[in-house]
Structure 1
Amino acid sequence: MADNIQPLRSKEHAKTKIKNGLNVEFTKLQHLVPVVAHEFSRVANEYPLVFIKNGESGEFQPVVVFGLEPGENLFMKDDKWQGAYIPHALTRYPFVLSTNPNDETKLLVGINESSDLVNEDEGHALFDEKGEETDYLKRRKESLINFIEFSQVTAGFSKYLAEKELLIAQTLTLEIKGEKRDINGIHLIDEKKLNELSDEDFLDIRKRGFLGPIYSFLTSLHQINRLAKLKSEQM
């Protein structure tokens, strides 16, 4: 089903409610999902992290890997999430934050009305009888704003790694039931080059607060084997 994103308004959405849970139909098709540096430590405990490069802008984006091919999420089984942690990029749905076409300095909150979480019968109300925002909606909007702010910090983090030439193109090879499978088109943090940095550069990274995300990223690569195990179980 195509997304039907509409601006959130008290009049049009007076009776709208949001059910708890994930947008299943959307989530089970996501094999790569953007993550912010602030959640690297939690993601690294369960899932592998990699960087992908935008072919047009040349910018790098950290993503969590949920599947080995497009449209595959190995952490969804029987329409239920199998992990303990769910990245912000998935939990913020069915809400989105976008630039106001009439004023680019302002942001608009929208809602994906095609989401299976959106209805008028059950869940959390967005507006009360007076048309005022409920506490639930206020929390969701605050979470959206935080995600945007974290995304900006993460973009700076990614740009810094690229400028220091700490990102390296890599192919990861997995063995699944005796068959070799490659994950291409990804970039990893070059641990060797990281260890060769000058004391000045290393201190700069520490002062910027980047050491934590870097080490979490490197730790997450051990979760590649978990992907291979899940793939084998589902074949």
Structure 2
Amino acid sequence: MFVFSAGMKKPTILEEEKHKNLRLALPSDFSFLRKVVALPLGYSEIIAATMYFPVLFGVSESFIYPFAVLGIEEKNLFINDEGQFIVDVIPKCAELYPFGVAKRGNDYLVVYDERVEASDGEPVFAEDGSFTPFFTQRKEELTNYALDIDKALEFAKTAYENGLLKLIEALKIDTKHGSVVLKNVLIANAVEAIPKLSPEKLYHFNVTGYLPILYATYFSVRNFKLFDLIS
């Protein structure tokens, strides 16, 4: 099971009977992300994320997924002292916290962070067992997020199978905030690989909208330089 979420420490699958009395303390800001330096991205988020963040690809449980890098050495550079993002692009998983989705086989399950259980928190289920209005809305957002994640995985899989993602065994990043070595990540191989595609595949990648995403992620690696501009 792989969890797509905003840095959950104790992801727990939401079960109606088991969690009928569940209440959660909802965060008032994004300070829970202060030590989170990477967040997964849905398909529709990728291009917007490349404006500010380096977007790379990770491998887990035989699938490939895109993620945004937000900091170095357990320091999220994009969260200010007030617990707010300093840019106007916020990964969807951060907005969905304390919920997320977990991929198990071909299915997606709703998970929540056990750390935020609270007796005086927001109820998830009503007394009759139905979802509360709060969770009904959140459930719809989670469903849409799971669909978007699935599209991101399909995009990454297709790109990799066509040689458009390149494995980097050790990507060393040096910034004024510190250094890090990202192991076994993939980066878009757009400039080298796209010109080698057959006309048919090039047409396919164009009509699906994959080409601009590949170029955007390729150039987003330069955003590591932006880290030095953040105090």
Instruction: Flag structure 1 segments of 5+ consecutive residues without an equivalent.
Output: none
Who is 1:139 aligned against? Answer: 137
Q: Is the 8 A contact 1:23 1:94 kept in 2?
A: no
Of residues 150-159 and 131-140 in structure 1, the stretch that sits farther from structure 2 once superposed is 131-140
Who is 1:228 aligned against? Answer: 228
Instruction: Flag structure 2 segments of 5+ consecutive residues without an equivalent.
Output: 1-7
Who is 1:67 aligned against? Answer: 71
Who is 2:112 aligned against? Answer: 111
1:167 pairs with 165, 168, 185, which one?
165
Q: Distance in 1 between matches of 2:187 and 2:103?
A: 31
Of residues 149-158 and 125-134 in structure 1, the stretch that sits farther from structure 2 once superposed is 125-134
Who is 2:148 aligned against? Answer: 150
Q: Which secondary structure state, in structure 1, belongs to the residue aligned with residue 97 of structure 2?
A: coil
Who is 2:4 aligned against? Answer: none
Who is 2:206 aligned against? Answer: 206
Q: Distance in 1 between matches of 2:144 and 2:202?
A: 28
Who is 2:53 aligned against? Answer: 47
Q: Is the 8 A contact 1:18 1:125 kept in 2?
A: no
- Shift in Å at residue 113 of structure 1? 3.3
Who is 1:186 aligned against? Answer: 185
- Shift in Å at residue 165 of structure 1? 0.8
Of residues 77-86 and 146-155 in structure 1, the stretch that sits farther from structure 2 once superposed is 77-86
Query: TM-score, normalised on structure 2?
Result: 0.75
Q: Deviations over 1:58-98 (max 9, x none)?
A: x42211111234x3322234361333222122222212445
Q: Is the 8 A contact 1:68 1:183 kept in 2?
A: no
Q: Distance in 2 between matches of 1:121 and 1:75?
A: 31
- Shift in Å at residue 39 of structure 1? 0.5
Q: Is the 8 A contact 2:188 2:215 kept in 1?
A: no
Provide the identity percentage: 22
Q: Kindly tell me: are residues 4 and 201 of structure 1, through their superposed partners in 2, closer, same or farther at Cα, counting changes over 3 Å?
A: closer
Query: TM-score, normalised on structure 1?
Result: 0.74
Q: Distance in 2 between matches of 1:175 and 1:79?
A: 27
Q: Distance in 2 between matches of 1:90 and 1:155?
A: 19
Q: Distance in 1 between matches of 2:217 and 2:11?
A: 34
Q: Is the 8 A contact 1:8 1:111 kept in 2?
A: no
Q: Distance in 2 between matches of 1:10 and 1:22?
A: 30
Q: Distance in 2 between matches of 1:106 and 1:176?
A: 39
Q: Distance in 1 between matches of 2:118 and 2:77?
A: 28
- Shift in Å at residue 161 of structure 1? 1.0
Q: Deviations over 1:15-47 (max 9, x none)?
A: 72553545644x223222211221012211221
- Shift in Å at residue 176 of structure 1? 3.5
For 1:30-41, list aligned pairs within 5 A: 30-41=36-47
CA RMSD of aligned residues (A): 3.5
Is the aligned partner of 1:5 residue 2:12? Answer: yes
- Shift in Å at residue 186 of structure 1? 2.5
Who is 2:84 aligned against? Answer: 81
Q: Distance in 1 between matches of 2:109 and 2:21?
A: 17
Q: Kindly tell me: are residues 167 and 135 of structure 1, through their superposed partners in 2, closer, same or farther at Cα, counting changes over 3 Å?
A: same
Q: Kindly tell me: are residues 36 and 78 of structure 1, through their superposed partners in 2, closer, same or farther at Cα, counting changes over 3 Å?
A: same
Q: Which secondary structure state, in structure 2, belongs to the residue aligned with residue 161 of structure 1?
A: helix
Q: Deviations over 1:166-190 (max 9, x none)?
A: 112346565535x986555332111
